[in-house]
Chain A
């Protein structure tokens, strides 16, 4: 077990990184560690635990912004926002149950560093789109900031959005400012029953291309739907395609009629009210159908929305995997039958049109598989140069994304 450093503030982080630089020690950067098992397993000398750098420092609902220290629990932030009927619109995923951990864990820094966004991603943008500013310590042990506390800002390079999704390999974030948005007053879900994957993909494409302002489009094949905690899905006995409508009640009522008209040719329709909708979309967000305590290899595949069913079909044919779809088909969750990652089958099916991330696998698989999408030579070289521009000695989460980065 590696030693852990637990800095109390930004100054401690600078000290710790400076020390690691001189001593040639590598650091694993963690918040609460809820996403620690995602991706590549890398060896580090010490753990830098940011959970002590915590607290919301600024929340101005009417300015739509919130600033907090990196180790602030995401649950604390979500509670605070809920009190003002606001939320993080990108729907941060709760990775706990999927990886055998508790629910409700995770920090703001971790959520932004992983840039994993939920069902509203196609409409509302990713975690990175809601990242307005960061303060961070680079692998050179230098503090820097980027962005600011206003939504509209083009002053200098947007390093905040670059650091988002860099899995702690570029810098140690210490403070973040994110955009927050009003929570929808109401939510309804239109369900289309009995579609196969290809037909469901087509239905979701039609729904997203309409003026109905669909804020979530997922398809759960029959075996996946059967596992749902929502009775309407569990008892459906067939595939369920779910389309979410959010907004004020008058608007939802109108759009629901429009959407049902559009979906009727596809299959039998039913709908979920508010509570069931919230439950279903939380489950979709967290890939709950695959959170059964197993260590079967699990992939999160992002591709063009219309390609979802085709890509998934190829993977299933080659491996016997189970899948379900979010983002109107653009996000495919793929669970392999065993702990074997089958990365070649996944990459081959994707054919470079998107990217796949190994979300869950046992340690030996994570140590050997390419967990992040491989890059061509020019992009890989550019990626390495960007890494070196922040962390020339490679001490921050080295190898977390790719070997040598």
Chain B
């Protein structure tokens, strides 16, 4: 288990005063301080980690958020922001000496602007809520993480969430046009808007995926897309995952970017089929779901090309959806893969590395070997189009050291991802879960530079500390320069 920073006893001793100060800012039921009422906030989607916060506050306006942060900044009190708490990496894990700042009451859509194809929403609106608000007019919001029914748009910004359609339509970062952000000092800055690109530094790119460490987002402007006229999905079965991987590479090399391209291995196929009855073939080692969207003529033509490529790659089964119901059923199995695996194992641990796609066969072989080594089963679902792996490690937390073994197994998988040129996390975030693995991917200089950027936003390190960075440094220490005595580059560097 990853250790969190030690609680500051001096802050805990002032709890009553802090609660009173928060009550003065957020009246009524917006401040929660009893253990029973705080219990629902003790963990997020990474349930192996639990911690009661010092106090929970649920502001309703940007002004309240600003006042809370200004107060906490002045008093040196840590703050952990939280959306719906669906993070799979512990991004919203509370701190014993920290204020948990919940954005659940920021649940209104502020503006729908079809002409500019944007929605302005408060951060607590759910991901699916954005799509629901605009679907009658034929629009949708593209990033679709599997938790989209519950997860919030503010949380999506914090985590730079993906989903099964980001191969063609991008991640959150590619779909957010503007934010209102409250800094730890209480200052409110607006970045971007309905126009494209920032007029200065692209701070939007920084805020997307910053895991609640840079500021609290109080308003989000996202772009919405007109729904394609149609979409069809194909289920393609392969005797080996190598053949399936080969097929994916060939589809892309042929110039086709499907709207979704997912892969599942045999254990994942069987678990999903037993749960969702999507009609998956059970006698294959790997299953691809390839979805194409657009006008009928385009979808049919590309589907024919995909079918030919699949055959050429050695597919043994291929079924294309012939109705919208069937297409959704194909997806239902994939989208339910996590809960389906949850039915065949008391607990599962979901990993999230991304790899260069061509390395898939060796990474899967390595995962199989690790599965034997740790004596834990594993099921693989995979955003095949963009190389994002989700191995699900099956374990039982009540059995001896299984949790510990699962965590070690997971860490080994992620190290393997980095070794082959990939990354620790494709869409779930670093949080506490992968915090201590950061040095496998980043040097000290890399991490120091990231933390200096953090200092530009949060000079006292009060926002969500203990997440993302394995070692906490004081900003003054990070800012110090260690410049060597000047060595003239001129003798060596061509100069003219």
Contact, CB under 8 Å: B386 / A150: yes
Q: Which one of B202, B445, B493 lies within 8 Å of A8 (CB-CB)?
A: B493
Which residue on chain A has the smallest CB distance to residue B181?
A: A382
B219 at the interface (CB under 8 A from A): no
Question: Which residue of chain A is the closest to B168 with respect to CB atoms?
Answer: A181
Closest to A378 in B: B187
Within 8 A of A (CB), among B150-207: 159-160, 162, 166-167, 170-171, 173-174, 183, 187-191, 193-203, 205-206
Interface residues of B in 443-462 (CB under 8 A from A): 443, 445-450, 452-457
Interface string of A127-148 (1 = CB under 8 A from B): 0110000000010111111101
Cβ of B481 within 8 Å of any chain A Cβ, yes or no, is: yes
Q: A62 to B422, Cβ gap below 8 A?
A: no
If A155-B425, A355-B198 touch, whether A209 touches B226 (CB-CB below 8 Å) is yes
Contact (Cβ within 8 A) B483 A153:
no
Binds B, one of A99-107, A236-244, A248-256: A248-256
Q: Are B483 and A211 interface neighbours, CB within 8 A?
A: no
Contact with B along A147-186 (1 / 0, CB 8 A): 0111111111111011011100010000000000111010
Contact of B173 among A62, A161, A372 (CB under 8 A): A161
- A115 part of interface (Cβ distance < 8 Å): yes
A 102-129 contacts with B by CB, 8 A: 115, 117, 121-122, 125-126, 128-129
As a 0/1 sequence over residues 228 to 249 of chain B, the CB contacts with chain A under 8 angstroms (1 = contact) are: 1100000000000000000001
Which of A52, A85, A248 interacts with B302 by CB under 8 Å? A248
Taken together as a complex, chains A and B put the C-alpha atoms of A354 and B205 apart, in Å, by 17
Q: What is the distance, in angstroms, from A27's C-beta to the closest C-beta of chain B?
A: 11
Task: Report whether A389 and B189 are in contact in the complex, using a CB–CB cutoff of 8 Å.
Answer: no
Q: Which of B298, B388, B490 contacts A251 (CB 8 A)?
A: B298
Contact status of A154 and B422, CB under 8 A, knowing A182-B255, A353-B194, A378-B187: no
**CB of A64 within 8 Å of the partner chain:** yes
Q: Give min CB distance, A130 to chain B, whole Å.
A: 9
Q: How many angstroms from the CA of A385 to the CA of B184 in the assembled complex?
A: 14
A201 CB to nearest chain B CB (Å): 10
How far in angstroms is the closest Cβ of chain A from B482? 9
Q: How far is the CA of A377 from the CA of B202 in the complex (A)?
A: 17
A60 at the binding interface (Cβ < 8 Å): yes
Per-residue CB contact flags for chain A residues 3-27 toward chain B (1 = under 8 Å, else 0) read 1111110001001101101110000
For B, the interface residue count at a CB cutoff of 8 angstroms equals: 106
In the bound complex, how far is the Cα of B455 from the Cα of A282, in angstroms?
Answer: 42
> In whole angstroms, how far apart are the Cα atoms of A378 and B490 in the complex?
41
Does A330 reach chain B (CB closer than 8 Å)? Answer: yes
B5 interfacial contact with A, CB 8 Å: no
Inside 8 A of A251's CB, which chain B residues have their CB?
Answer: 294-295, 297-298, 301
Apart from A181-B257, A389-B452: 20 A-B pairs, beta carbons within 8 A: A5-B493, A62-B252, A85-B255, A121-B196, A126-B197, A140-B481, A150-B387, A152-B383, A158-B160, A158-B209, A162-B453, A164-B205, A213-B294, A251-B301, A303-B194, A304-B193, A306-B115, A353-B195, A388-B456, A390-B453
Q: What are 23 inter-chain pairs, A to B, with CB distance below 8 A?
A: A4-B496, A12-B489, A15-B489, A21-B483, A22-B483, A62-B357, A115-B202, A128-B205, A145-B446, A156-B438, A158-B173, A162-B203, A165-B202, A211-B229, A213-B228, A248-B298, A253-B297, A355-B200, A356-B199, A357-B199, A382-B183, A382-B189, A382-B456
Could you tell me which A residues sit within 8 Å of B by CB distance?
3-8, 12, 15-16, 18-19, 21-23, 52, 60-65, 85-86, 115, 117, 121-122, 125-126, 128-129, 138, 140-146, 148-159, 161-162, 164-166, 170, 181-183, 185, 205, 208-211, 213, 247-248, 250-251, 253-255, 258, 302-306, 327, 330-331, 353-357, 372-373, 375-376, 378-379, 381-383, 385-390, 392-393, 401-402
Interface residues of B (CB under 8 A from A): 114-117, 138, 159-160, 162, 166-167, 170-171, 173-174, 183, 187-191, 193-203, 205-206, 208-210, 226-229, 249-250, 252-253, 255-257, 294-298, 301-302, 354-358, 383, 386-388, 421-430, 434, 438, 441-443, 445-450, 452-457, 468, 479, 481, 483-490, 492-496
